[in-house]
Amino acid sequence: MKKLFFILCCVAMAACTFQTKHRGYVFPEDLEERISSIKTTAQLEDEIGSPQVKTINGDQVWVYYGTDENYHGPFPLTYDNKTVLLVWVNGGAITKTQILHDADLPDIKMDSDETEIPAAIELNALEELFNNVGRFSPAGLGQ
């Protein structure tokens, strides 16, 4: 009985692994110092890279974002070390920069519901299986 309990505990512990993945940009530790010396968009792209988003309405703002995604086994996904770099651009010149960290960013909860797509066709697993019959050519025929 003790051996079975020990095996179950080992399996349960293995399921509770901790893993961190970085998403977005990996900003340097001295980001504020590096950004203060940059005056043109060409220098910015050389130093940090292309932005993830460029706004199209209003002032042109380049947005850089980076965060750590934490997996704790069966527990919900969490994020930390969030950093957002906002750069206001006028032509090829940088007019203003702003760096936001975890405390500056609001917590936003995603709704678990799904948005329905108008005129979407919903099929069950069996219908999906039979709808795909004959759609794909055999491998190696080059079609």
Q: Position 122: which residue type?
A: E
Q: Position 141: which residue type?
A: L
Residue 92 has pLDDT above 80, yes or no: yes
For 6-61, write each residue's pLDDT tens digit.
Answer: 887 766 666 666 788 888 888 888 888 888 888 988 998 888 888 988 888 888 89
- Higher-confidence position of 74 and 71: 71
Residue 100 has pLDDT above 80, yes or no: yes
- Higher-confidence position of 143 and 125: 125
> What local confidence, expressed as pLDDT, does residue 56 receive?
83
| Nearest residue to 55 (alpha-carbon basis) of 81, 87, 96 | 87
pLDDT band for position 108 (cuts 50, 70, 90) = confident
